[in-house]
Structure 1
Amino acid sequence: MYSQEKIAIALKLYHQCGSVTKTVQTLGYPTKKALYAWIHDEGKPKKERKILELINTKTHPRNSPVEVKMDALHRCFKLGESIKSVSEDIGYTRSSIYAWRKKYLQKDAVALMNDKSIQSETLEEGSVASNAKVEELKAQMLNTQLEIDILKETINVLKKAPGIDQTALKNREKAVIVDALKNKYSLPLLLGKLDLPKSCYYYQENILSKS
């Protein structure tokens, strides 16, 4: 990375001698490619840096939804977008994106979810309320992990964008997702979550087996 002073010196010398090669040879920096880029960008107004609005509102919660996290990871680590630009676009820090990726690679659904209905409560161990709460939490955890896994398969297997409406998937695509996850979840649970009738699933299975 060169300072603005060094860039200015290189551009001044280039305009004096009119040669990219001579400028680089005289100064010993930068590469020809870099100098061409500086010449191209010379005089252009610089983009104003977008200030991150680290606020906690309904449209921009401090703890972002899992869909936002997965979309950011897809853009940065699948599509190759700059983490800096994605960070500025979504309004969350770069360190947050790296933290989300770490949790994603660890397959930690709890860390990626933000279900505020899951709160610690003081309940007497063994009570009916306690047991009911535990079962409720387990069900929420299972549902959240299932949603994350379906989203992963939608991105990795079907190559769809994270923001896609899963109800808009074709039955064949839903069947592919079911096949990818049926060793982890029960078939009725997957079919119900994807709104795919059993008859349609077996029909698609028959077609896929012949392809």
Structure 2
Amino acid sequence: MYSYADRMRAVQLYIKLGKRVGATIRKLGYPTKNALKDWYREYERRHDLPGGYVRTKPWYSDEQKRVAVEHYLIHGRCQAATMKALGYPCRITLSAWIDEYDPEARRRVVGKIVTSKPRSEQQKRAAVIDLCSRRESAREVAQEVGISRQTLYKWKDQQLGHEAPAYMTHRRDLPQTASRGELERELDALRRDVQRLQLEHDLLTKANELLKKDLGIDLRLLTNREKTLLIDALRQIHALPELLARLDLARSSYFYHRAQLRLGDRYAELRQTIVALFEANHHCYGYRRIHAALAKGYGHVSEKIVRRLMKQEQLIVATVKRRRYSSYQGELDVAPENLVNRDFQAAAPNKKWLTDITEFQLPAGKVYLSPMIDCFDGLVVSWTVGTRPDAELVNTMLDAAIETIAESPDRPVVHSDRGAHYRWPGWLSRMHKADLTRSMSRKGCSPDNAACEGFFGRLKNEMYYHRNWINTTLGEFMQQVDSYIRWYNQHRIKLSLGGLSPLEYRQFLGIAA
């Protein structure tokens, strides 16, 4: 049931977007595809729409609804497969039926981490005074305050600056005068290094000149024939044993290929015939057709020889590269700047947050995880596990993350990809209300969110890939994902944190409960 204003808004947006049904429905969240087209035809015919509300009659019986929901639950919980098999309904209608007949399908598990307030300025100043007075060692002062030694020196730099006296300056011993023999041996070693570098330079230059290879090519990957050509070109400058050793070529192989090269091209006439056939047939014959043409008048020739000769003569059939299919229809709105710029390091908690969605495929259906990860130590601040990758999945996770900093002045940068979940009005309003800064990766560039992708990889390697989930329900799996993330935060040690878990590391620094 839609009002006159709702229908007019939909028709006007449909015309503005170039009559793109999908873009219009994604922008408004309503109506169905057929309803939008009916409204547009009515508007085009009358230049207006009927006033009041339009009440739609139910198109499907209860039996059809029950059949659709049962098919969805039995066949892997895939809406696309259900709609393709039955021929009805649309995705939005099917979602409503599933919520009506199987409310448990939308169950979610939400978790969050509550952190304590940072140390006050008075506590920091007192610790710095104890450090500078040198009544105790820096480690003892840090232990009394409940922080690490590195954090204590960081406070000192913030309070007094980096111009601190060096209390423990080690005096280096002066080098002893080297003897004449040692200097001569060092000079000989330098000469050998220069000769080796000159040999490397000459080989790369000659490979680029004779064989048309890049200057950065690995010389060991050349064929023995190509290595023989290089050695013949440089034998007047460098000794043969040095060239053979550098190119990793046996002496017997070198002389064999050298003799073969002096015999001349045994396929010179065949080579000319292949070039003539290729040019006479509009450059559209590949090696199979060329081989068939040669069989008519030239006699029996191996197909491999034809292919090799065509490759040497660079006889390549021009083809049109097919455009890869893409459902991308343009940006919904202007994307924010990539503020993180692949710098996944943070000096303190709640400075940079990363988020994304990953999928788990199970025999019982699909499960989706949406976490919020802190770049400071990899702590999962909040997470949501559900059976649908919809707006409610990410919005619930964001609400739980915002609660952890409700009493803190920190306002982190939230980085994500360019998915529609992070551009819908619900997400934007929550970000604006919490005064959080948005940051987005470039289009189709997963390395821009590599730290979050790395967390997904560790989770699946340690918890998901090596296990059999045949008899596991969706609810049980979601509980296991929730248990893993809690173990990840509290107990899983990270070598980059000195063998501590994220929560233990924060407690060690004195910034977590």
Higher helix share: 1
Which has the higher relative contact order, 1 or 2, with Cα contacts under 8 A spaced 6 or more apart? 2
Q: Check whether TM > 0.5.
A: no
Query: What TM-score comes out, normalization by structure 1 length?
Result: 0.41
Query: What TM-score comes out, normalization by structure 2 length?
Result: 0.17
